[in-house]
């Protein structure tokens, strides 16, 4: 067995196992804690509670419920410390109480399925590779009605400039505007409130009402009508950062090194992102954007990288931190 040399992992192991010797102290004297295993299944049902007054028939019923093997085909082995010390053959001792066997807490009851036609053999209950997957060819999917592709095609017939990426980005901004209004009572630029109190995007006519003032005026209007998300996530949002700098990311105070700065249109509504190689495997990527398959930087592992908004990244003198620092989820990390 490989020994653990990392001090942090040793501390974590010590914390997790500290109460192992006393874990059953609060149980009633009539309670049994058993692990259930099965000859055809990899799964292990740990710490299943029984009462010493429960019968073997009840034990078989619970095994049937968890493994699918009927009681008539259950050959039971009672184990402690990895050794078999008693066996119960099928259709025997059904009314005998579990307390009779003097089972220690944490003992293992192993079920051998003797059914020659058992459905659980050869991984039938666990091996997902045996499950026939539903597949469609591109041609079959293209002919289907009511799909996302069909909906996008019909929208494009009405608006030639429509795209799913554009729609997703606009929808994300609308959701953010409604959330912002709910929290602050303020309507973001580019949106308005209808008579029923619903926040909607300003109509195209409203957005273009100043075009007659000429190109300079139109440029100012365009800048003014940029959504809050575009302003919040533009190049200025990462202007305080530089590639190669040490940094700290919130939430979670995760630390690492900046490996990418720039726009990523296909990620979380677009805008500018910061790609960071994290000191510990606390990220969600290896530097690749899953939706497009494009790799923007190379992290040394699948969870050693992350994309973050500039507002959540602080550059400075941040050495590596303890792996046990508390983490939180964030909508600004994808």
- State residue 2's pLDDT score: 60
The pLDDT, as a whole number, for residue 209 is 47
Position 131 scores a pLDDT of 85
Give, in order, the Cα–Cα distances in Å from 61 to each of 70, 87, 226, 237: 8, 17, 65, 61
Residue 218: Cβ-neighbour burial (10 angstroms; 0-12, 13-18, 19+): middle
Q: Which pLDDT score is estimated for 308?
A: 94
Q: Give the model's pLDDT for residue 251.
A: 82
In this structure, how many other beta carbons lie within 10 angstroms of the beta carbon of residue 118? 18
Residues of the chain with pLDDT under 70: 1-4, 204-231, 321-334
Do 221 and 211 form a contact (C-beta atoms < 8 A)? Answer: yes
- Tell me what pLDDT residue 213 has: 43
- Quote the pLDDT of residue 147: 92
Q: pLDDT, tens digit, for every residue of 50-79?
A: 999 999 999 999 999 999 999 999 999 999
Do 295 and 275 meet the contact criterion of CB atoms below 8 Å apart?
Answer: no
Phi/psi for 35 (5° steps) reads -100, 130
pLDDT attached to residue 211: 45
Q: What is the pLDDT of residue 17?
A: 81
């Amino acid at each position: 067995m490989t020994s653990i040399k990392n001090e942090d992992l040793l501390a974590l192991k010590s914390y997790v196992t500290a109460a192992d010797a006393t874990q059953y102290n609060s149980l009633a004297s009539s309670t049994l804690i058993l692990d259930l295993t099965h000859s055809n299944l990899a799964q292990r049902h740990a710490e299943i509670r029984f009462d010493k007054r429960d019968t073997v028939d009840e034990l078989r019923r619970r095994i049937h419920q968890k493994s699918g093997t009927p009681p008539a085909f259950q050959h039971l082995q009672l184990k402690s410390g990895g050794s078999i010390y008693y066996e119960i053959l099928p259709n025997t001792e059904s009314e005998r109480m579990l307390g009779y066997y003097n089972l220690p807490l944490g003992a293992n009851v192993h079920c051998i399925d003797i059914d020659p036609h058992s459905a659980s053999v050869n991984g039938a209950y666990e091996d997902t590779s045996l499950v026939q997957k539903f597949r469609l060819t591109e041609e079959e999917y293209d002919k289907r009605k009511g799909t996302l592709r069909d909906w996008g095609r019909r929208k494009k017939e009405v608006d030639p400039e429509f795209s799913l990426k554009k729609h997703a980005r606009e929808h994300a901004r609308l959701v953010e505007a409604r959330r912002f209004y709910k929290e602050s009572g303020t309507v973001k630029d580019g949106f308005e409130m209808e008579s029923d109190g619903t926040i909607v995007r300003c109509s195209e006519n409203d957005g273009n009402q100043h075009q007659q003032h000429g190109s300079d005026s139109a440029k100012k209007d365009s800048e003014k009508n940029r959504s809050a998300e575009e302003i919040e996530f533009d190049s200025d949002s990462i202007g305080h950062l530089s590639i190669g700098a040490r940094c700290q990311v919130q939430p979670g105070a995760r630390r690492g090194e900046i490996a990418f700065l720039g726009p990523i249109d296909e990620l979380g509504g677009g805008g500018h992102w910061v790609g960071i190689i994290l000191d510990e495997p606390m990220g969600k990527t290896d530097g690749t954007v899953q939706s497009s398959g494009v790799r923007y930087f190379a992290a040394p592992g699948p969870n050693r990288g992350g994309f973050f908004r500039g507002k959540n990244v602080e550059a400075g003198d941040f050495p590596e931190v303890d792996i046990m620092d508390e983490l939180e989820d964030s909508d600004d990390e994808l």
